[in-house]
Amino acid sequence: MTRPLSELPFTLTALREAYAKGVTPAEVMVEVLARLAAVDDPAIFLHLASAESLTAEAAALGAFDPGRPLWGVPFAVKDNIDVAGMPTTAACPAYAYDSTRDAHVVSLLRAAGAIPVGKTNLDQFATGLVGVRSPYGVPRNALDPVIVPGGSSSGSAVVVAHGIVPFALGTDTAGSGRVPAALNGIVGLKPSLGALSARGVVPACRTLDTISIFALTVADAHDVFRVAASYDVDDAYSRALPDHTMPAPSHAPRITAPDAGSLMFFGDDVQAADFEATLATLAASGAQIDRVDFTPFYDVARMLYDGAWIAERYAAIEDMMIARPDAVHPVTRAIIAKAEGQSAVDAFNGIYRLAELRRACAPVLDAADMLCLPTIPRFYTCAELEADPVTPNSNLGTYTNFVNLLDLCALAVPTGPRADGRPGSVTLVAQAGRDAVIAAEARRLMEVRQPPLGATGLTSPAAFATAPGQAAPLEDEMVIAVCGAHMSGLPLNGELTSRGARFLGAARTAPRYALFALTGGAPRRPGLSRCKDSQGTAIALELWAMPKHAMGAFMEGIPAPLSVGTIEIEDGLQVKGFLCEAAALADAEDISTFGGWRGFLESDARTEAVA
């Protein structure tokens, strides 16, 4: 039975499945508005499309078209990005103008079938990481209204965290697409500079700006990124970058993190412990973790607001600063006005200094597949920002401000609740063009940690399933059950994800099977066998949807004594999955009592630790 629309997870996977089963985009638009009304936060949107216009745009899509990757998907747009027919304010009423054409990225998303529902609130002129510098009010943090929502893309992060839309556009110059993601427990994708055109975006620092993407899952954020990434000849800073297809995660990625002496948490010991726990998870999944002195990166970060780049922010709103300074938010005005004391000599000295620091950072970047950093050093409350509007904002940029100055890509990923219940988050960072590489590792991290997704009540990867324990493949997919090294976060999972397989949910076999630890092999593998007398054990599985066209290549790589056969699931459903030839079980250890491969591995690890 199809779940009510009000219970449908607003992920791309869930929406695509709903549309394939007959749900209409018009119904989804009505649900978007209903969810927004239930949240009752008037500061999220600065402009919201009418129900009539959304219904009309949904109807104009015509019949379901799975060939358009975002067909019928609602999304929100930060209000410094143009959407035709909607005003652009950059959170400054005196600056507002009516947009007559879409920003380049918005036009690409529309062409893929997506529907913009409105323009979201922000720190004025995208200057701030806190989300409170807006004359239109402050969006409430989706998880805890005491905490700042994060900025500058505050409304975009909050609307996704509530599950009102599957994704939203922000911008990111200093961390505006990563900090609010961390504070609201969602994914924040900061692309390589130039991968997404900035045409139609109100500039903050033109040479460092990029549109960013908020979503509940890494897969959704990356899907949107692939649609939006396109060389734009009319944007002087656009550039063609390598193919963005997400690869299988590396079996042993080289990940570099700041050493203990150079980490900064400003007194938040819980955040420090949570970061170390995430590094331990990465190491357990096969990563090689190196620790380095991070001082050169911090030196770069300080240049963004203490150096000549503040003059770029001044250049973007020079007319406002000269003719109508009182119309600019007082904190924003005070920050940008520092440029008035700078000279061209300061600018060139800043460029020279940045070149020196880039050279100092290069060996660290060249030696690693990616960096892993805390997304934020600590949390700040709205009350703390009222008392000091500058210092908390500066501290929030500790691990984000350097990224665009060094021409890097980054992806903030939720890691689950900290010891105090607040959302954990780390950011994976890599050199330009490696967006897909960090996405693959971030996706694996989410599959292992299974964090709550914003304020939706969903967890990853359970969010991909349409109902608990119920597989729901599309017409061009088949369900395959895996019980060992192909499971999420384990060494062979990339053989599934690299072929476009997607996680449907956890399940168990009917109580008619036995599980064995096979001898030999690297990685270690189990063998699942049906008991002759049908008096076996229920064994833990994962269900994945594999594109049918990829099944042949996948099966070619399955070594003896394993094969693909039919497995009976606990609820009576029959699916294809891994079984083991009986001849290979004579020398194998029966591990059925552990209930599954993960249970066996955990017990084995505990035994080795004691030994």
Active site residues: 78, 152, 176
Place of tokens 């209204």: 145
Q: What is the H or E stretch that residue 232 is in?
A: none
The pair of three-digit structure tokens given for residue 447, joined into one six-digit string: 């599959």
Residues in Cβ contact with 344 at an 8 Å cutoff, skipping those fewer than 6 apart: none
> Does residue 515 sit in helix, strand or coil?
strand
DSSP E strand stretches across 337-401: 370-374
Residues in Cβ contact with 158 at an 8 Å cutoff, skipping those fewer than 6 apart: 41, 44, 120, 139, 140, 141, 142, 149, 180, 184
Place of tokens 């599950």: 163
Widest distance between CA atoms in the chain? 86
- The residue count for the chain: 611
First-residue to last-residue Cα distance in the chain: 51
Q: What is the H or E stretch that residue 163 is in?
A: none
Distance CA 442, CA 215 (A): 13
Q: How far is CA 555 from CA 105, 149, 474, 564, 565, in A?
A: 39, 47, 20, 8, 11
Q: What is the H or E stretch that residue 595 is in?
A: none
What DSSP line would sit under 100-115, residue for residue?
-S--HHHHHHHHTT-E
Residues in Cβ contact with 381 at an 8 Å cutoff, skipping those fewer than 6 apart: 146, 147, 148
